[in-house]
């Protein structure tokens, strides 16, 4: 199989997002995912210094279709256009589609536009008509919601590795500590271990603070060739490596917690980028539920299998630690933008635009999503 | 709900846990499909399962997602790895004072819930 050898040929030149905290504090407002997405697109375009006419590719995500989005944005005749569904795993998949299109000349400059009005429409991520392969069967037992399937994985992880109750609090608190330094974050109040332990269970062993937020917001990214990026007189951030490996089954509970999929993707991205785990300055890990951070750290070889719960302690994944993780506050404290917000944070860290939460001398950032479509990118600044 | 799904629940009503088995390659599968997901043969038959398995994992659901389960909260849900290979979602009953744990052996039994008969599992 031919591996991608196009390292650093595609750049992320624009990032834009809504102020998640401000939207969250403004209660009782019904927002359209399209309006949200449009404002992020506008911000990303402005950030890139490109003109709208430069955009010849549009990939939308979570909105119900590309047609309305493109109409609203006045993108009349793009060479590339498509829509990706409302799943967290799709953010990196859409970015990979953009990279592939740019590398093969299908488009030169691709806008990726994501809009989420989950709070406005009262999204619950459980109950209702099941869509998973065995969902109709599961519902007969009251089994529903991605968090409950993640809970199954974590219960087994906990028993197999003799993990003490409350080990996930390190992750929830780490996210919150970082969110406190992020002006866009939804949650900025401190979170203590006592508060974490006293919070209610949703799908035991997972507690409230192990769950992603449900909020409105949007993110947009603009990708283009490195040649075009160099003409923009903006900080240059490129994609050094990207890979995916699916782990498909009837349940949103991987038998090995996505370990083999992560191993495969890790081998791919570190080989493509010619670096190893110790070269990563900070990592942005998809955390719809906190246990995915343990699964990701182990699967990508930051620590041995079964040990992440211990490895993360004592500030190791905090700012100033060995591996700052989810520096914007992740999905449990910044915003649930299904991986898109983590992509934006990766770029901002590399540009040195992360304000109080800036990782010093940040040159290499990794994005990881351990899920039925496990993905990772390595991004670099030049 | 497909015809195949109906057949599964109809068997449960008769006190049988059934799985599909491929007549050509012998692989068991769940959930049911028209074809064998392993060799793509169309010759797939229902067979009675042993009813033996192990708890792959379990949770206690505290959140109300389905109103019909509101009065049972918190209730357990367990993912069972059947001896034949497939995994089925279910619940653990009659655990008594014993705490169910991952990899514990279990045996199928049946429980009425509304109009449906559900395959459920007890610690073996």
Chain B nearest CA to A249, separation (Å): 10
Please state the length of chain B: 124
DSSP string, A255-288: TTTTHHHHHHHHHHHHHHHT--GGG-SEEEE--S
**Does residue A136 have a cis peptide bond before it, meaning omega lies within 30 degrees of 0?**
no
Instruction: Note the Cα A37 to chain centre separation in Å.
Output: 16
Optimal mutation site among B30, B67, B81, B89, interface A, most CBs of chain A within 10 A: B89
The ranges assigned to domains in chain A are 10-122+213-381
Instruction: Enter the tokens of residue B49.
Output: 């399962």
Query: CA nearest A109: which of A229, A237, A220?
Result: A229
Predicted complex ipTM exceeds 0.85: yes
* pLDDT tens series, chain A, 382 aa: 445 555 799 999 999 999 999 999 999 899 999 999 999 999 999 999 999 999 999 999 999 999 999 999 999 999 999 999 999 999 999 999 999 999 999 999 999 999 999 999 999 999 888 888 899 999 999 999 999 999 999 999 999 999 999 999 999 999 999 999 999 999 999 999 999 999 999 999 999 999 999 999 999 999 999 999 999 989 999 999 999 999 999 999 999 999 999 999 999 999 999 999 999 999 999 999 999 999 999 999 999 999 999 999 999 999 999 999 999 999 999 999 999 999 999 999 999 999 999 999 999 999 999 999 999 999 999 9
Chain A residues with CB under 8 Å of B31 CB are 133-134, 137, 250
- Set out the domains of chain B in order of their start, with CATH numbers: 1-49 (no CATH), 51-124 (2.40.50)
Query: What distance in Å separates the CA atoms of residue A70 and residue A58, rounded to the nearest whole number?
Result: 8
Question: pTM for the full model?
Answer: 0.97
Class of domain A10-122+213-381: alpha beta
d(CA B108, CA B119): 6
Peptide bond into A205 cis (omega under 30): yes
Q: Which two tokens stand for residue A246?
A: 């699916």
Interface contact flag, A148 B59, Cβ < 8 Å: yes
Task: Collect all residues of chain B within an 8 Å Cβ-Cβ radius of residue A133.
Answer: 31
Whether residue A318 contacts residue A3, with contact meaning beta carbons closer than 8 Å, is answered with no
Residue of A155, A208, A212 for testing the chain B interface, max B β-carbons within 10 Å = A155
Are B61 and A136 in contact (CB < 8 Å)?
no
């Amino acid at each position: 199989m031919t591996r991608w050898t196009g390292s650093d040929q595609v750049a992320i030149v624009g990032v834009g997002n809504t102020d998640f905290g401000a939207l969250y504090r403004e209660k009782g407002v019904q927002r359209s995912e399209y309006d949200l997405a449009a404002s992020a697109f506008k911000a990303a375009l402005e950030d890139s210094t490109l003109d709208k006419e430069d955009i010849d590719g549009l990939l939308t995500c979570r909105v119900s279709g590309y047609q309305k989005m493109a109409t609203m944005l006045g993108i009349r005749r793009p060479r590339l256009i498509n829509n990706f569904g409302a799943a967290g795993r799709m953010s990196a998949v859409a970015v990979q589609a953009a990279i592939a299109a740019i590398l093969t000349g299908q488009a030169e400059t691709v806008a990726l536009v994501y809009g989420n009005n989950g709070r406005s429409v009262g999204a619950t991520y459980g109950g209702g008509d099941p869509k998973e392969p065995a969902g109709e069967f599961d519902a007969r037992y009251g089994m529903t919601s991605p968090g409950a399937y993640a809970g199954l994985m974590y219960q087994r992880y906990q028993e197999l590795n003799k993990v003490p109750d409350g080990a996930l609090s390190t992750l929830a608190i780490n996210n919150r500590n970082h969110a406190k330094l992020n002006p866009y974050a939804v949650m900025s109040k401190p979170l203590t271990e006592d508060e974490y332990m006293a919070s209610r269970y949703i799908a035991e062993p997972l507690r409230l603070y192990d769950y992603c937020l449900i909020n409105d917001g949007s993110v947009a990214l603009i990708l283009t060739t490195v040649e075009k990026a160099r003409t923009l007189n903006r900080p240059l951030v490129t994609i050094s490596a990207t890979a995916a490996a699916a782990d498909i089954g009837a349940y949103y509970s991987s038998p090995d917690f996505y370990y083999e999929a992560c191993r495969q993707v890790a081998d791919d991205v570190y080989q493509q980028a010619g670096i190893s785990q110790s070269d990563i300055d900070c990592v942005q890990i998809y955390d719809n539920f906190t246990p995915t951070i343990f699964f990701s750290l182990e699967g990508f070889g930051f620590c041995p299998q079964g040990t992440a719960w211990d490895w993360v302690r004592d500030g190791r994944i905090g700012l100033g630690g060995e591996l700052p993780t989810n520096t914007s506050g992740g999905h449990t404290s910044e915003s649930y933008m299904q991986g898109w917000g983590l992509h934006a944070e990766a770029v901002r860290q590399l540009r040195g635009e992360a304000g109080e939460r800036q990782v010093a001398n940040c040159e290499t950032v990794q994005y990881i999503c351990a899920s039925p479509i496990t993905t990772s990118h390595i991004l670099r600044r030049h | 709900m497909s015809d195949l799904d109906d057949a599964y629940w109809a068997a449960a009503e008769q006190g049988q846990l059934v799985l599909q088995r491929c007549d050509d390659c012998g692989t068991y599968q769940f959930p049911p499909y028209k074809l064998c997901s392993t060799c793509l043969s169309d010759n797939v038959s229902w067979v009675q399962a042993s009813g033996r398995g192990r708890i792959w994992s379990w949770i206690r659901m505290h959140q109300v997602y389905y109103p019909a389960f509101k009065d049972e909260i918190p209730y357990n849900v367990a993912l069972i790895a059947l001896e034949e290979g497939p995994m089925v979602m279910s619940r653990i009953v009659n655990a008594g004072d014993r705490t169910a744990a991952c990899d514990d052996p279990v045996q199928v039994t049946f429980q009425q819930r509304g109009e449906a008969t559900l395959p459920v599992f007890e610690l073996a």
